[in-house]
Structure 1
Amino acid sequence: MKLNKHTLYSDDLLNILPEGVLILNTEGEVLLLNQQARMELQTKVLDINPFKSCHIDSLLKLLYNKEDILPSIMDKLRQGECRYPLPDRTYLQEKVNYTQFPIKGQFETLKEKGEIKVIVFFFRNITAELTQEYILNTALQRTKIYPWYYDISKGEFTLDYRYFKHLGIPAGVNNSLSMEEYINMIHPDDREALADAFVVQLSGVETYEKPVPFRLHRGDGTWEWFERQSTYIANVSGQPYRLVGICMSIQEYKDIEETLIAARKKAEESDKLKMAFLANMSHEIRTPLNAIVGFSDVIGNSYNELSKEEIEDFIRLISINSEHLTRLIDDILDLSKIESNTIDFSFSDNSLISLFKDIEKEQIMRNISEIEIKAILPDNDIRIVTDARRLKQVICNLINNACKFTKKGFIHFGYTASKEAVSLFVEDTGIGIPFEYQEQIFERFYKINSFKQGTGLGLSICKTIIDHLNGKITVTSELGKGSCFTITLPLNKENNP
C-alpha cells in the first residue's frame, strides 16, 4: 500500500504534534515519520527519504529490563491486538549514536474490513519530565511541603503519599480522601477558616491567596499545625473543576514561637523579680549591718555598765548578724560568677561521713535549743568524686534555709546509697511549701514569703551547683508538716567531670 501526503495523512498535521509518530506496515517498514520522530531518531544523519521506506529495526530498539521488546510487540499486533501501551520504564535506543532515553508511548493498528492496513507508533521523550519530577521530589523530600488537589466532580482529595506517612495514618485508595474524611481530621476550631477559603475558591470569582493555618489530627492522637495555600483550575466557562495547592507543616515554627513567648514571659518575670531583689537588697544588707554596728557601739560605750549575760547576748547577736551578712555577700558573689559563667569547681575523692560530720559540728555551734539539728548517717561510708566545698555549701544552705521556716522539731540531714547513685537529704519539720510553688522556688530571686530574710538566690545557686556536679535536686513538702530536699549524685566516677 502506497501512502503519500495527499491520501490519508498530512505531513503538516503530523509535524505539529509534540510526540514522535511512525507509521508502519505490517512488515515493520516505516512508511512515514513526522518531524519530532526524525529529530529524536537522528534520521537526518541517515538521510532517509520521506517517501522511501526502511524497517523500524534499523531506526530503533525498545528496551525494557535491558531487553528489546520491539519484535514481540510487532508479533502481538500482527496476531490481532489492536493496541499495545508501552510499560513504564521503557527506553528507546536510536541507531545513529545509540543514545537511550525514557519514553511514554503506544502502538495502534488501523484496520480496513478487518485487515490491518497500517500500524501507528506514538512516543514521547520524557527525559525532561523525569528530570523536573526528580528535582521536585528531591526538593520536597527535604521539606514538609505536600502537594494536593481536590476533584470537585468526585468530591475527593488526592494527596502526596508522604502526607499520610508523615501523619501516621493509612492512605486511602490512590492516596485519596473524601471531603468528609478530610474535614474530620481538622481541629473543630479551625474548620470555619478553611471552609471560608474553600467557598471563595469554589466560587470561581477570585482566588484565595492568603495562607490558612490549621491543625490536623495525627495517627498518634496529637494535633499538628499546618498551613495551606491553593488556587483553582477553571474550565472554558470559567468555572473551577479542580483545586490545587500545597500543605506545609508549621509545627516546628509554632513550637519555636511558643518557646520564644515562654522565654519572653520568663524574662519579663525575671526582670520584675530582679527589680524586687535590688529594692530588697538595701534592706537585707542594712538590717544585719545596723545590728552589728548598734550592738558593737553598745558594748564599746557601756561595757562596764553591762552584765556578763548582756555582753554575751550582744556578742551572740553580733555573730548571728555577721553570719547572715556573710551569707548575703556570698550569694551575691556566687550569682555574679554564675552570670559570668566563671564559677569554679575542684573535684577530688571525698568521704561523705567526714563531710556530714563536719557540717554537723558547725551546725551544733549555732545552739538553736528548740530545734534538733542532727546528721543521720549509715554505718558504711561512701566515697564520691565531687567538689566537697561546693557540696558542703549546698547542704549548709539547705539547713540554713530550713532554720528560717522551722520553729520546733528537727532538721535532719544525711545520705543513702544504691549501686549507681547516692541520695543526700535535708529534712525538716517546718511550715512546708505549697505544692504550686515547689517548682518555682529554684528560680532566681524567687521568694514565697517576702518578709523572710534572704535574697531569693540560695536555692537557685544550690540548683546551679548541683547541675555542675551532674546531679539533680528535688523537693517534697506538705504544709504544716515540713519539707525534704533530696540531692541525687552519680556514684560512677566517669560521670563526674
Structure 2
Amino acid sequence: MNIDKRIEYDKELLNILPDGVLVLNSDGEVTQINQQAQTELHIKSSLDKFAQPLQIENIINLIYHKENILPVVMEGLRKGEQGYTLPEHIDIQEKNDYTQFPVNGRFVTVRADGELTDILFFFRNITVELTQEYILNTALQRTKIYPWYYDIARSEFTLDYRYFEHLGITPGINNTLTMDKYVEMIHPDDRQAMADAFIIQLSGIETFEKVIPFRLHRGDGTWEWFEGQSTYIANVSGHPYRLVGICMSIQEYKDIENTLIEARKKAEESDKLKTAFLANMSHEIRTPLNAIVGFSDVIGSTYYELSDEERADFVRLISINSEHLVRLIDDILDLSKIESNTIKFTFDSRSLKSLLNDIEKEQAMKPIPEIEIKALLPDYDVYIMTDTTRLRQVICNFINNARKFTEKGYIHFGFMMDETKTDAVQIFVEDTGVGIPYECQKDIFDRFYKVNTFKQGTGLGLSICKTIVEHLQGEISVVSEPGTGSRFTVTLPLSGQREY
C-alpha cells in the first residue's frame, strides 16, 4: 500500500470514530484531525489549506478551575509522561468562536526508540450526557424511584444513595448491599416472588418483565411497600453478568388504596345501617304516635265512662309517648345538623354543680319505683367553658338510657377531678342496669347501633353524644359489666378554678 493510500485509509478510520481525535507531532503541530473534531472545534478547512502549521495551542484551551492547563499538559508529555487523562469538570474552549463545552478525554504518546514521535488526543463532548444526567437526576429527586444494579460475580447490589436515606439504613461501601442483607430486609411473605424473578433473570433464558410488589423493613422497624422491575446484561456468550433495574416506593398509593377500601366498607356499612334505620324509624315513630292517638281517642270518646285513675293513667302514657316522640325527632334533627356540619355551639362559663343540680330536679319530676336517681356532688364546685345546652343533652341522654335499661337499684351522676389529668374534670353517669355485652362495647358509639333491637330508640343517641363531646374538646368512654351496670364518663378540659 503506497503512502498516499495509507494516509487516506488512516483518515477514513479516524472519521469512523465517534470521538474527536487530534494527532500531533512532538512540537504540538496538528498532523491529522478527524471529522468529529473538526465539527466540535468549528474547523471548517482541511489542514493542507492552512498557510502555517496548526498548533494545538492555537485551536483550543483546556479550562480547569478557570485556568488553561493545556501548556502544562503538553510540557509533561514532552518530558516523558506516557499519557494524561482529563480530570472531571474540565472544558474545551475552541478558539474559533470561543464556545466552551465539557469533555472526557485522554492524551496518549507514541514513541520510537524512546523518542516522542506523536501525541494522540481523544476527546468526547459530554454536554448531551450531562444534560440527560441532570434531567434524570432532577426527575428522580422529585420521585421515590431508585435505580440499582446487581453484580452477579460479587453477589452485591449497588443502589442510589437516596435509597438508603429514604429507608433510614446504613449503606455499605460505595452504596452497596449484599444479597443476604437485602433478602433479610424483604418481608417473609414476599421473598418467594422476588426469588422467582431473580432465578428467571439469572438463567439468561428470558427476561422477567413483570412488576413485583414487595415490602421492605425500614430502619425504624416499619414495613414499606415497593415495586421492582429489572432486566439483565449478558456477556458475549449470552450469560448474564449484571442485573439492572429500578424500585419505586408505592406506600403512598397503598395508603390511599387502604383508605379507599376502608371508606368503601364504611360507606357500604353506612348504607346498610341507614336502610335499617329508615325501616326501624317508621316503626319507632308509629309506635308512640299510635299510643298518643289511641289514648287520646279513648279519653275523648269515653271520658265520662272512665274513672279518675284510668284518665290519669292514660294521660301519663300520652305524656311518656310524647316525650319519646320528641326525643326521636330531636335525634333526627341533630343527625341532620351533624351530616350538614351546621350544628352550632355557644361557649360560656358554667358551674357543674349548678348544672347537675338542675338535672337532678328535672329527673325528680319523673320518678321510677325501685330506682334512686341522684346527683353525687363533691364539696367543691368547678367552672368550665362549655355549651351548657349540648352538655346537658349528653348527660340527660346517658340518664335516659340508664332509665330504659335499669329495673331496680340506682342511677347516680356527678363529677370529679380527673386523677390522671390535672387540667381535666370527669362527668359520670352510673347505673345498676343490665350492662352492655363486652363484644358490643366497642360499637355502641357508632351510628344506628343498638345493643337491644327490641328497646325503643333510633340508635343515634350515643353517636350524637360522642360528636357533641368531641366538639367540646372532650373524650367519652364507657365501662360496663353485663348484669351489673354501666358507667359512662365524659372528660372535659378545665377552664376555671374550683370553688369551696
Same fold (TM over 0.5): yes
- What is the match of residue 281 of structure 1? 281
Q: More deviation in 220-229 or 123-132?
A: 220-229
Whether contact under 8 Å (1:289, 1:321) holds in the other structure is yes
Q: Give the 3-state SS of the residue equivalent to 1:427 in structure 2.
A: strand
Whether contact under 8 Å (1:4, 1:51) holds in the other structure is no
- What is the match of residue 374 of structure 2? 374
**Is 1:442 the equivalent of 2:445?**
yes
- What is the match of residue 125 of structure 1? 125
State the shift of 1:295 in Å: 3.9
Matches within 5 A, 1:390-429: 390-416=390-416, 420-429=423-432
- What is the match of residue 464 of structure 2? 461
- What is the match of residue 175 of structure 2? 175
- What is the match of residue 15 of structure 1? 15
- What is the match of residue 60 of structure 1? 60
- The separation in 2 between residues aligned to 1:170 and 1:179, in whole angstroms, is 15
- The separation in 1 between residues aligned to 2:244 and 2:397, in whole angstroms, is 65
Residues 1:101 and 1:365: Cα distance change in structure 2 (over 3 Å): same
Q: Give the 3-state SS of the residue equivalent to 1:318 in structure 2.
A: helix
- What is the match of residue 205 of structure 1? 205
- The separation in 2 between residues aligned to 1:473 and 1:45, in whole angstroms, is 90
- What is the match of residue 224 of structure 1? 224
**Is 1:155 the equivalent of 2:155?**
yes
Residues 1:475 and 1:98: Cα distance change in structure 2 (over 3 Å): farther
Whether contact under 8 Å (2:31, 2:47) holds in the other structure is no
Residues 1:53 and 1:267: Cα distance change in structure 2 (over 3 Å): same
State the shift of 1:129 in Å: 0.3
Whether contact under 8 Å (2:32, 2:47) holds in the other structure is no
Q: Give the 3-state SS of the residue equivalent to 2:169 in structure 1.
A: coil
Q: Give the 3-state SS of the residue equivalent to 1:10 in structure 2.
A: helix
- The separation in 1 between residues aligned to 2:472 and 2:254, in whole angstroms, is 34
- What is the match of residue 475 of structure 2? 472
Q: Give the 3-state SS of the residue equivalent to 1:430 in structure 2.
A: coil
User: What RMSD over aligned residues (CA atoms) do the two structures have, in Å?
Assistant: 3.0
**Which amino acid in the other structure matches residue 427 of structure 1?**
E
Q: More deviation in 172-181 or 377-386?
A: 377-386
**Which amino acid in the other structure matches residue 91 of structure 1?**
D
Q: Give the 3-state SS of the residue equivalent to 2:87 in structure 1.
A: coil
Whether contact under 8 Å (1:45, 1:96) holds in the other structure is no
Structure 2, unmatched stretches of 5+, are none
Q: More deviation in 413-422 or 424-433?
A: 413-422
- What is the match of residue 387 of structure 2? 387
What number of residue pairs does the alignment pair up? 491
Residues 1:4 and 1:135: Cα distance change in structure 2 (over 3 Å): farther
- The separation in 2 between residues aligned to 1:65 and 1:404, in whole angstroms, is 88
- The separation in 1 between residues aligned to 2:464 and 2:164, in whole angstroms, is 48
Identity, % of aligned positions: 69
State the shift of 1:195 in Å: 2.1
Q: More deviation in 431-440 or 40-49?
A: 40-49
- What is the match of residue 361 of structure 2? 361
Q: Deviations over 1:227-257 (max 9, x none)?
A: 1222233334443333222211111121222
Q: Deviations over 1:46-95 (max 9, x none)?
A: 98847953332222222222222223323333343323222211122222
State the shift of 1:172 in Å: 2.1
Whether contact under 8 Å (1:24, 1:30) holds in the other structure is yes
What is the TM-score of this pair, normalised by structure 2? 0.88
Residues 1:132 and 1:162: Cα distance change in structure 2 (over 3 Å): same
Q: Deviations over 1:276-330 (max 9, x none)?
A: 2222223322333333344444544555565544444443333222211211121
State the shift of 1:400 in Å: 1.2
Matches within 5 A, 1:98-109: 98-109=98-109
- The separation in 2 between residues aligned to 1:445 and 1:189, in whole angstroms, is 39
- The separation in 2 between residues aligned to 1:410 and 1:84, in whole angstroms, is 99
Structure 1, unmatched stretches of 5+, are none
Q: Give the 3-state SS of the residue equivalent to 2:341 in structure 1.
A: coil
State the shift of 1:21 in Å: 1.7
- The separation in 2 between residues aligned to 1:213 and 1:385, in whole angstroms, is 52
- What is the match of residue 114 of structure 1? 114
- What is the match of residue 145 of structure 2? 145
- What is the match of residue 341 of structure 2? 341
Q: Give the 3-state SS of the residue equivalent to 1:43 in structure 2.
A: coil
Whether contact under 8 Å (1:5, 1:11) holds in the other structure is no
**Which amino acid in the other structure matches residue 445 of structure 1?**
F
- The separation in 1 between residues aligned to 2:227 and 2:21, in whole angstroms, is 45
- The separation in 1 between residues aligned to 2:494 and 2:46, in whole angstroms, is 84
Whether contact under 8 Å (1:32, 1:50) holds in the other structure is no
- What is the match of residue 257 of structure 1? 257
Residues 1:66 and 1:477: Cα distance change in structure 2 (over 3 Å): farther
State the shift of 1:125 in Å: 1.0
State the shift of 1:119 in Å: 2.2
Residues 1:343 and 1:53: Cα distance change in structure 2 (over 3 Å): same
Whether contact under 8 Å (2:383, 2:495) holds in the other structure is no
**Which amino acid in the other structure matches residue 436 of structure 2?**
I
Q: Deviations over 1:146-186 (max 9, x none)?
A: 12222333333222222222111111222222332222222
- The separation in 2 between residues aligned to 1:76 and 1:101, in whole angstroms, is 24
State the shift of 1:420 in Å: 4.8
State the shift of 1:398 in Å: 1.8
**Is 1:483 the equivalent of 2:486?**
yes
Residues 1:110 and 1:4: Cα distance change in structure 2 (over 3 Å): farther
Residues 1:29 and 1:409: Cα distance change in structure 2 (over 3 Å): farther
